Chains A and B, each alone.
Chain A
Amino acid sequence: MAVEQANLCTPQDAAVVRTLRVFRDPHVDRELEPATVLIIITKHVMSSPSLNFQTQISGLILSLSFSGQRNMSNSVIEVPPKGGFSFDLCKRNEMLAKKGVNPPSFRKTGTTIVGLVFQDGVILGADTRATEGPIVCDKNCEKIHYMAPNIYCCGAGTAADTEAVTDMVSSQLQLHRYHTGRESRVVTALTLLKRHLFNYQGHVSAALVLGGVDVTGPHLHTIYPHGSTDTLPFATMGSGSLAAMAVFESKYKEGLTRNEGIELVTEAICSGIFNDLGSGSNVDVCVITKGGKEYLRNHLQPNPRTYTNSKGYSFPKKTEVLLTKIIPLKEKVEIIEGGDAMEE
């Protein structure tokens, strides 16, 4: 029977086929009844909440041909190995998009984030604008996230993704610190982040600039949403990365002092703020050295509000009352005096 020819398009299909195999009694040379197969498939689909009914059932049943050819020789089903990535929901999303049901847009930090290595450590910088499409949803958000006392991470991309991934790895680092009794290393954070991002094959849209100082020295890395990393003396990410990189490439040199480094980072972020529409508002800077860290929130605020009316505006209630009608509520319960007392 043509279960063998089933279209094994997803691991979920494979799981169903495996279940079917179990039901085939190898000692009795008899094929499975079509009805039995249907029951098994339906049961499998119903019990698993993450399956997409349509593609599963249609995909499998179309390829199961109950055309009465019962005398086919037994052939081994090719089953993909267990485990691996499950992309069912991605297929479902594609199917929905084709039908015109688009996924909700998420808030991205169309962003400029930078990092550079200077004499005594690393300096990270970021702008503070979060956008939802063409609208600014947060004029002063924090893009430099805490990972460890000596490690900070800037995040660009989907705001929820950068927050979640940095919080998660920060917790893992803390547990690791308790286990080992040592200060966290930047490469540990790097490996934890890149493993997580690679696992999600780029669907976790977080582009990060990770910097810190540990026992082995100062480190600066970039991490891309698909999980690749670079180790660099200076780095930029986000929609404003080209504007910021232009500044870095012109003015960076090795062995910068602290003030020179902060000035260069500020200049690069400003370049992103003014030339990229996805970045804006203020500049945040974070300086990490062997001695400690300095988080300069809103280090520069080059965009004050341009005009405020001195007199202000009043907002009178504008809804017009066209008609007033009062209907008193009727008494639904009649109260009877002196009834019997309630019994236990």
Chain B
Amino acid sequence: MVKQQANWSPYDNNGGSCVAIAGADYCVIAADTRMSTGYNILTREYSKICKLADKCVMASSGFQADVKALQKQLAARHLIYQHQHNKQMSCPAMAQLLSNTLYYKRFFPYYSFNVLGGLDNEGKGCVFTYDAVGSYEKVGYSSQGSGSTLITPFLDNQLKSPSPLLLPVQDAVTPLVEAEAIDLVKTVFASASERDIYTGDKIEIVVVNATGIRREYMELRKD
């Protein structure tokens, strides 16, 4: 008798894509608002973006139940930090916390693909990109989720520094202005929703800059 494989999985993929782009004094984080399972749509208006701290925002795609649990965990730890240190967590500090939280569940991971965006202590934009178990890196831009394979090559072409082999080393942060970066994000999502069935409905765009956090929406294809 052939060994029986498990036919119940604790995970599900709710689809969706997220993008984050870091600028000189701003950070743009965007995600679509569609939540799906299999070939069905569960809702067209689900927010995948969560504000973790004053200057720190996280967008996650993957299994939204795990994402919700992860967000709660981080919020609780942030509260404890505020009580102990009498200040908000900075973005790099939150980045490390997220990495540790994910690795804590190394052998039963959070099925959550995250991008963390915000301003660092000097007010410069920063983006951190993660895998499901906490490996992270500070980058100038990043995309995760079902549409990431469609989005990343385009961002590479438009934003990537000429070559990491050239000296002097180019800064990963893009020289684009805030409005141009938002424009780029809208184009990228419009294209991704044309070809990825799990991306669509609406985009939620969050911009973090010196004045605070701003939110805007854009309609996408609904099919």
Contact = CB atoms under 8 A, between A and B. Distances in A.
Contact of B190 (A239, A278, A308): A308
Interface string A293-315: 00000000011011111000101
A315 B157 contact: yes
Contacts of A131: 197
Contacts of B222: 274, 303
Contacts of B223: 129, 273-274, 279-281, 302-303
Interface string B148-169: 0010000001101011011000
A309 B39 contact: no
Interface stretch (A43-51, A133-141, A184-192, A225-233): A133-141
Interface in B170-223: 183-184, 186-187, 189-190, 193-198, 218-223
B33 to A, nearest CB: 13
Contact of B162 (A273, A276, A308, A320): A320
Contacts of B190: 305-308
A306 B39 contact: no
B158 A134 contact: no
A136 B165 contact: no
Contacts of B184: 309
B40 interface: yes
Interface string A259-293: 00000000000000111111111000000000000
Given A274-B222, A306-B218, A320-B166, A135 B183 contact: no
Contacts of A276: 39-40
A227 B162 CA distance: 58
A185 B109 CA distance: 59
Contacts of A275: 40-41
A325 interface: no
Contact of B220 (A274, A279, A306): A306
B209 to A, nearest CB: 22
B163 A277 contact: no
Contacts of A115: none
Given A306-B219, A318-B162, A280 B187 contact: no
Interface in A101-122: 110
B192 to A, nearest CB: 10
Interface of B: 15, 36, 38-41, 146, 150, 157-158, 160, 162-163, 165-166, 183-184, 186-187, 189-190, 193-198, 218-223
Contacts of B158: 313
Contacts of B157: 315, 318
B194 A139 contact: yes
A311 to B, nearest CB: 8
Interface in A135-155: 135-136, 139
Given A134-B198, A277-B40, A308 B163 contact: no
Contacts of B221: 280, 303, 305-306
A322 interface: yes
A29 B222 CA distance: 79
A171 B158 CA distance: 50
Nearest to A312: B187
A135 B149 CA distance: 10
B105 to A, nearest CB: 26
A279 B38 CA distance: 13
Contacts of A279: 223
A307 B166 contact: no
Nearest to B157: A315
Contacts of B183: 309
A279 B15 CA distance: 16
A187 B195 CA distance: 38
Given A306-B218, A307-B218, A318-B157, A136 B195 contact: yes
A136 B194 CA distance: 8
Contacts of A322: 163, 165
A306 B198 contact: no
Which of A275, A278, A305, A306 is packed against the most chain B CB atoms within 10 Å?
A: A306
Given A110-B39, A303-B222, A307-B218, A277 B197 contact: yes
Which of A134, A275, A313 is packed against the most chain B CB atoms within 10 Å?
A: A134
